[in-house]
């Protein structure tokens, strides 16, 4: 991040725009949304700027100031339309130590103008450090769709009522109150135009001195998806932003955790293979205990919590404690790996079923009969199978599958260091070792109903 995003209080600050055409008018419209004092410096103004000057909304200077006159400015925009003059004015502003934005010349900018979603006092700014303004506008359009037009008025109402809430509610109860305001009945009423009813609901809750929330907390078992933060669901993001405490697995991407509330407690409970510092019973206990204290708990798991996530054990612990439970599904690694391979998990007429099977064995467990699942028309997605690649190969060969049967491997899907490997069943163990691939990984093995006329060995292909 080369620039640091920050919202500045603009009251009683002086801002100047050098230029009198459409580009200057665009910057003028933006700054007029703030409380800054705005001066436009240019011999001639276009009709829009001239009208603003005539109405007293801006100060018009018909000359271009010198460096000494710039020293009182907090910010200036240069929009003359002449590259040479822009560069000269930039040098003057730089000498006066003024933050400067030169329109359409990012290499001369100390300050960049973001795309803005304005729901005053709620303001969302999207910046690309001057590299891709079209992309910033696309993101702005999507956020505009997400935030209802009147959201700023609800935020302003909450701001007016914060002192009353602080006087009557304890800190945790206040947090519960505002969570309810922006996720529950008040926001829904406000969204539909019943703003007076929304205000009444909030005032009644404050007057009662009790936030509309159960006395015990809740637990959400949330799937984080297989890797990057853009693969978690919107509901998963909402639960992270509501959480007081997050118990997360070792393989959860740190970018996903950045979606959580800044002050949420984060506890790593994932076990490195072979380590026993966080056995499942202890994870169950700390989740339940936190919820009994009235906290909103998220148990954040990689992929989908229902796929090899020991979900049933956690559900049982939560239900036995009488606590409220929500399960938020996520994208499982097999789905993400198939997408990365640009193929389907199934294929009409050839592969009409897919089996998710674990390749991770506990000490003392008998090896699964992987080969019995690989019937014609079936695909196997073997999770965490790298460590038992030899056993998987031997099991399938013993059941009559050819050594030339193709195997696709996707390791660390969605993470930095993601690796793709295409090999054969006979070469699986050696090629994994040669490529340096370890878990987490998905092994795809298919047995189509109509196999190719001739199976030939597939050369090693590795992409990382």
Q: State pLDDT tens for residues 417-446.
A: 899 999 999 999 999 999 999 999 999 999
What is the architecture, at CATH level 2, of domain 218-330? 3-Layer(aba) Sandwich (3.40)
* pTM score over 0.75: no
Instruction: Provide DSSP, 70-123.
Output: HTT-SEEEE--S-HHHHHHHHHHHHHTT-EEEETT-GGG-SS-PPEEEEETTEE
12: its two tokens: 């009683």
Instruction: Give the rounded percent of residues in the chain with a pLDDT score beyond 70.
Output: 94
370: its two tokens: 């992987």
Verify cis geometry, omega within 30 degrees of 0, for the bond prior to 391: no
The pLDDT tens digits for 202-259 are: 999 999 987 775 556 789 999 999 988 889 998 899 899 889 999 999 889 989 999 9
pLDDT at 383 over 70: yes
Arithmetic mean of pLDDT, 98-121: 91
Angle between helices 311-320 and 280-292 (to 10 degrees): 40
Residue 246 CA, distance from chain mean position: 16
The pLDDT tens digits for 330-352 are: 999 999 999 999 999 999 989 99
Nearest 5°: the CA angle 228, 233, 238 is 110
| pLDDT for res 462 | 54
Q: Which phi and psi angles does 26 have, rounded to 5°?
A: -60, -45
**Nearest in space to 30 (alpha carbons), one of 118, 132, 133:** 118
- Looking at domain 14-113, its CATH class is alpha beta
362: its two tokens: 């506990």
What is the architecture, at CATH level 2, of domain 335-463? 2-Layer Sandwich (3.30)
Q: Is 271 a catalytic residue?
A: yes
Q: Which of 176, 249, 408, 427 is catalytic?
A: 249
| pLDDT for res 450 | 66
Going from N- to C-terminal start, the domains of the chain cover 14-113, 151-208, 218-330, 335-463
Please give the mean pLDDT across all residues of the chain. Answer: 89
Integer CA distances (angstroms), 45 to 9, 18, 53, 216, 398, in order: 28, 11, 9, 63, 85
Query: In which region does residue 264 sit, left (phi positive, over 0), alpha (psi from -120 to 50) or beta (all else)?
Result: beta
| pLDDT for res 271 | 60
**Nearest in space to 217 (alpha carbons), one of 186, 249, 243:** 243
pLDDT at 458 over 50: no
| pLDDT for res 326 | 92
Report the distance separating Cα 392 and Cα 413, nearest Å.
21
Q: Which of 14, 46, 203, 271 is catalytic?
A: 271
């Amino acid at each position: 991040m080369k620039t640091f995003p920050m919202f500045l209080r603009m009251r009683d600050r002086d801002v100047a725009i050098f230029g009198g055409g459409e580009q200057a008018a665009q910057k003028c419209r933006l700054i007029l949304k703030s409380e800054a004092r705005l001066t436009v410096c240019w011999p001639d103004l276009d009709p829009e700027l001239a009208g603003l000057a005539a109405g007293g909304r801006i100060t018009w200077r018909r000359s271009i100031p010198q460096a000494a006159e710039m020293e009182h400015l907090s910010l200036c925009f240069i929009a003359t339309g002449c590259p040479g003059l822009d560069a000269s004015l930039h040098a003057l502003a730089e000498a006066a130590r003024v933050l400067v934005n030169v329109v359409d010349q990012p290499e001369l900018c100390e300050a960049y103008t973001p795309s803005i979603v304005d729901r005053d006092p709620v303001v969302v700014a999207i910046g690309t450090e001057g590299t891709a303004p079209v992309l910033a506008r696309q993101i702005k359009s999507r956020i505009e769709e997400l935030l209802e037009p009147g959201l700023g008025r609800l935020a302003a109402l909450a701001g007016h009522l914060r002192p009353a809430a602080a006087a009557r509610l304890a800190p945790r109860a206040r947090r519960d109150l505002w969570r309810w305001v922006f996720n529950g009945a008040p926001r829904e009423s406000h969204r539909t135009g019943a703003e007076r009813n929304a205000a009444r609901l909030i005032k009644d809750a404050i007057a009662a001195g009790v936030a509309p929330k159960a006395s015990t907390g809740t637990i959400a078992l949330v799937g984080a998806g297989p890797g990057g933060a853009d693969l978690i669901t919107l509901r998963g993001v909402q639960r992270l932003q509501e959480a007081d405490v997050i118990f997360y697995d070792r393989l959860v991407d740190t970018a996903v955790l950045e979606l959580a509330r800044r002050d949420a407690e984060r506890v790593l409970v994932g076990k490195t293979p072979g380590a026993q510092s966080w056995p499942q019973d202890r994870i169950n206990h700390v989740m339940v205990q936190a919820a009994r204290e009235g906290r909103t708990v998220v148990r954040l798991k990689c992929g989908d919590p229902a796929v090899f996530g020991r979900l049933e054990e956690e559900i049982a612990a939560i239900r036995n404690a009488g606590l409220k439970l929500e399960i938020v599904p996520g994208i499982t690694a097999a789905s993400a790996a198939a997408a990365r391979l640009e193929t389907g998990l199934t294929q009409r007429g050839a592969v009409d079923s897919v089996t998710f099977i674990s390749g991770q064995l506990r000490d003392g467990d008998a090896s699964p009969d992987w080969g019995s699942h690989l019937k014609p028309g079936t695909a196997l997605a073997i999770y965490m199978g790298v460590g038992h690649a030899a056993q998987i190969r031997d099991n399938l060969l013993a059941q009559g599958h050819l050594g030339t049967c193709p195997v696709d491997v996707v390791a660390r899907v969605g993470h930095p260091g993601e690796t793709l490997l295409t090999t054969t069943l006979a070469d699986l163990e050696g090629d994994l070792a040669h490529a340096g691939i370890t878990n987490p990984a998905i092994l795809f093995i298919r047995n189509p109903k109509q196999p190719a006329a001739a199976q030939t060995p597939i050369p090693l292909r590795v992409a990382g």
